[in-house]
Amino acid sequence: MSTPKKPGFGTLAVHAGWEPEEKTGAVMPPIYMTSTYVQDAPGQPREGFEYSRTQNITRFALQDALATLEGGACGFTFTSGMAAITTLLLTLKPGDRIVCGDDLYGGTYRLFTKVGERFGLRFDFVDTSDPMTFENLPEDTTLLYLETPSNPLLKLVPLELAIAAGHRVGADVCVDNTFATPALQQPLTLGADFIIHSTTKYIAGHSDVVGGALIAREESRKEDLWFHQNSAGTVNSPFDAFLTLRGLRTLALRMDRHCQNALQVAKALEAHPKVTKVIYPGLPSHPQHELASTQMSAGGGMVCFEIDGGADEAATVVQSLKFFALAESLGGVESLVELPAPMTHASIPAETRAALGITDGLVRLSVGIEDGDDLVADLEQALAQI
């Protein structure tokens, strides 16, 4: 008898985490908006449910769906992506060393340097796009924390090399998979220990809910992560879990369109005379294009570009766009634009931004699912203003 074929990603995205309810046949999980549960006797909760910070069926459905899509053993969801990262840090102890990318989301950098260091954690910021970095990881590394593609410069981490190096020195490896999503890459299948998501972004996909997720590859991590999630109270609400799960069901379709449009936009920008640089993993001009072609199934929905005129002209361009809304965040069905230096990465010191290449004229696009021709035309009319 042949082994049943594993369902494709699109099928899993639609069905993972929930079977139609036995009592009513509900196709989607009900929103269990209860704070507490009746107990059959003192200390004897019915079906193990005591309090919604600890157990909630709607949240469990989302957690299980994300674990399935990432190829993990267990998943946990939170009030935000930052809450997910914070909860992971709570599992560490003072003196632990975390090696992480030097091109991180500004909020992550702020959490590490302004909060984590205050509680005795040590952080080394290194170029995780350089394979040589992983030749010399400190022997006392506790956690290797990676973003790929990174935010905002879209650098890639050679995951197989990085994961092997982390494990060689006894470190856990966590990958922020927010930009790629499990639709484009699944680092747990390569041996990573943890996945982080800001589910606010592509997972939910509609710019109407904030959330985060932490997924572990091994079942043995479940109790520790659950203990810290429950103790810190970082869980997301049942309604937020429901909205996020609703968005997740269309992830495969949306990512196809995001990637298609982003490639079209990137090619148009690269051909534009007023654009000096375009950063997109799906373009042959990206220095890690070959790695992107083998590590990701497509280039993603994020595009960055620079123009000669610096901050002033960049500001003119972003304020002249009509379909690209000037706003922070990313990954929604609508296209967004921002300037990382004064917006999402303002918490990183100016000299550090400059050294990394986050210039005042860097423009970051979150390319939505509108008609690609309209997005290109919008960028062309905005660039014509300078």
Catalytic (active-site) positions: 53, 105, 176, 201
Phi, psi of 239, deg, nearest 5 = -65, -45
Nearest to 182 by CA among 202, 156, 209: 202
Alpha helices in the chain (DSSP H): 9-15, 57-70, 81-90, 106-110, 159-168, 181-184, 222-232, 238-248, 251-270, 289-295, 310-320, 350-356, 372-383
The token pair that represents 28 in the structure block: 């989607």
The token pair that represents 172 in the structure block: 């856990």
State whether the Cα torsion 23-29-35-40 is positive or negative. positive
Q: What is d(CA 377, CA 162) in angstroms, rounded to the nearest whole number?
A: 40
Residue with tokens 């982080």: 196
Three-state DSSP state, 160: helix
The token pair that represents 219 in the structure block: 């079942």
